[in-house]
Structure 1
Amino acid sequence: MAKASSPFALGTFAVGNEEFPGLVVGDRTLNLSDVLRIPGSVLSLVQDWDAVLPRLEALAADSSRADWWHLADVSVRAPLRPRQIVQAGANYRTHVIDLAVQHAELGPGRTEEQVRTETAAMMDRRAAEGTPYLFLGLPGAVAGPYDDVVLPGYSEQHDWELELAAVIGRRAFRVDRESAADHVAGYTIVNDLTTRDLVFRRDMPEIGTDWLRAKNAPGFLPTGPWLVPSSFVDPGDLRLTLKLNDEVMQDESTKDMVFDVAALVSAASQVVELLPGDLVLSGSPAGNGMHHGRLLRPGDVMTATITGLGAQRTRCVAEET
């Protein structure tokens, strides 16, 4: 089971049918529902983040308590259930450049190197002058970090997309980029699964993308294991690694982002009132299944890690008919 490498983190756990918010230190967790005046879920903690954080710091530093659970003795759920999910697309330079090459018509007058150079210049202009490409996901897609992923039988083109997610800790509405990071409580891991043949509407090509059908099947957003407070995380210098059956498929730094987390939060807040507990996903780096020509199959196991945020392990299973 994954451990938090930060001084402490938050998670949601279950013993039998009872769920509880837990403070994670090393390989142990403290049931915060049993601690006087601590609210009853991670979402409720985040809703009162400025007041709760000092209390969590004090509890994490208290080595005298004996009422800790070992992580091996509890089940790990998604760290929280967000009310809103904002997702970013086309936000890693290398990923976008690889896609441009994949879809380009190459020939004597147009080489792969030319396409890469042109696309890199376009990404530079976009970073300097443009805005992020954002869309919405549904909370119903959220699953735990070790849950099985059911691959819907209506397609055989399901793909992985490892992403860093920011967890909002203060209401954010029309905040500027300079102050946006102050509205982030912490960070977690998500794997934003996508059904590739449903991304574009073939019956209405002029409409464009259909993210509802492509990304929101039950369990298509494995989340966690932990919510790590933002003071322990540098979101601009993290390593994202996804392995499929122990073979590395994605391995990139968040330094490759076109728009950093602060820019994404700020851009989303210009339209959406971001609430405590909401997730803002930051896009996925190069190396998804379409790039490798290998999509998910029943029996596959995905292991996903981001520096300091723990690890997910999810097994793919076929949908029962």
Structure 2
Amino acid sequence: MTPLVLGQLNVELTDCADTDDWCKSVYELTRNQWLASSANWLIAKPLSILLILVIAIIIRLVARRLIDRLTKANGGGRIPALLRPLKERAPQALGSILSERRAQRAKTIGSVFKSITSVIVFGTAFMMILAELGVNLAPVLASAGILGVAIGFGAQNVVKDFLSGVFMMLEDQYGVGDVVDVGEASGTVEAVGLRITTMRDVNGTVWYVRNGEILRVGNSSQGFAVAVVDVPIGYGADVEQATEVIDRVATQVTDNEPVSDDVLEPPDVLGVERVSAAEGIMLRVTVKTRPGRQWAVQRSLRAHIMGAFEEAGIQGPVVRGFGTSE
């Protein structure tokens, strides 16, 4: 190369920064001053942005796969790894429903973690891309904060429902298969989401309840339940005899199948519960049962006790004014 060309090359290369290798490399390849001076925007920055996006996608993919592994049950009724550190109030007696409940709970919590992971990863990548483009991040962060506050005020009910659903899932207040009372509605839980809980009552009506509107929950399916049976007798009946009949019949019923499978402790005859002119003398017996099975035990006890009362000739309460003329 002649000295004149070398001198011209050195003069033109002075437009490139001393450390800008891209500028020098492009000029050596193209001998074009404009391409060389624009190499940082045409090649370096696009490659940097592409690299940031690729790394963000890989990190998100790895995080989602890890969350999927933590939320996946290995079969045999085992608890997903994500739920093991969390408190679980679901009764073991739910059987197959328990597995469905665990799967749904793990899936819902996993979806929350996936969403949080995506927001963090892509949010960080977006900020790095803006910084790579030379954008001042301070006004952007301030604008994002103001926009977040505005969205929070506008969608506060949705945010309230979402946060309530998250805490409900983490605390395992109720789940699929539980019989619950949430105030305006009661029934069996069919689905639990982060915003809506779906329930079906005894009449078959499906209720969609917003999690943020649930102020208190009565769960009849945790730990154990109590079957409470009140049996009325007339004022002229022998209370001691009626109590002995109730004790005998309740023991027989709870010791035999199929009721015995649902009973946890022997029946407890409490005796006279209340006395009123309309109902006569009310005797009460209670039985500790498996969760959700108290109603079946109550129906069986009532049927057998009333039959035993009729055989023993124990008088029931007299309803005045019903079927008689004054």
Does the pair score TM above 0.5?
no
Higher-RCO chain (CA-CA 8 Å, sequence separation at least 6): 1
Question: Comparing both structures, which one devotes a greater share of its residues to helix?
Answer: 2
Larger Rg: 2
Question: Comparing both structures, which one devotes a greater share of its residues to strand?
Answer: 1
